[in-house]
Structures are given as C-alpha cells and as structure tokens.
Structure 1
C-alpha cells in the first residue's frame, strides 16, 4: 500500500521521542511534524536525520483506513494505548 496524498496522519498523530532537527526532545502527539512540506510530504525522507520510528511506520489498510480522519483516529488511539 502507498501513502495517501496530503494525509500525513502518521506524521501528526503519534509522539516521536527521538531527537530530530529542530526538536532535540522529539515531537508531541497531535503536532504536525515541522519537516512536512506544503504537500504534507516528509523533507527528511531518506536522510539519516529522519527518526527510525518514522521509517518503521508502514502504510496499511488497518492503520490508514479510507481517509486521513480514519488514520488520525486509529493512530491517536494507538498513541493513547501505548502511553
């Protein structure tokens, strides 16, 4: 499965505890990653500065659902369950 254009739910809903450029303590849940471009694509994709957790999230029907809203809800629920 490929990422849905202009979604970025996986770059917004979860917290990221590892450091990244500009965020030495990571990113809180619900905050869009500051490394998203205008089309909501990752500017760090393929770079060593990209947190490993970002590369571990692979799009799936279960996670992404049929819309950005469904993806945000699913990932937010997972975030809550794993706090």
Structure 2
C-alpha cells in the first residue's frame, strides 16, 4: 500500500499480508503475556485471574471478546495452580 497516496486502494494480497502480520504479532503478545504471568506470586496471579473474569462479564464488550477474557482467565488459573 502506498502510504504517500492514501487514495490508492490496498490490494487483496497486501490485505492478506497485513492480516497475517497482525496475527503473528498477536501471537507473540499472547506468549509474552502468558510468560510474564509465570513471574507473579500466587496472590498477584489470583488477582489477575479475578480481574480477567470480571472483564469477561462486562456488558460493553461483545460476546466474542468476553469469551476470550474468560478463556485467558481459565488458562492463567490453571497455570497458577
């Protein structure tokens, strides 16, 4: 995509490449976040899980986002023991 000329349309191939790059970046962030959670003491890990479960109940999020928060909370709870 030409950044100098924003009127130019992005090609389908460029869009797919951008989406793939964003997916890779998100994957890296997920691994990093999960790894950082291993550095927390038990109390801090439980507080994080509680906060994520609270986020999973927020009505201003769509159902898909709430499910992702709940899944992350469950995953971190397993790791916290």
Instruction: Determine which structure has more spread, i.e. the larger CA radius of gyration.
Output: 2
Q: TM-score, normalised by structure 1?
A: 0.23
More helix, by proportion: 2
TM-score (norm 2): 0.24
- Higher relative contact order by CA 8 Å / sep ≥ 6: 1 or 2? 1
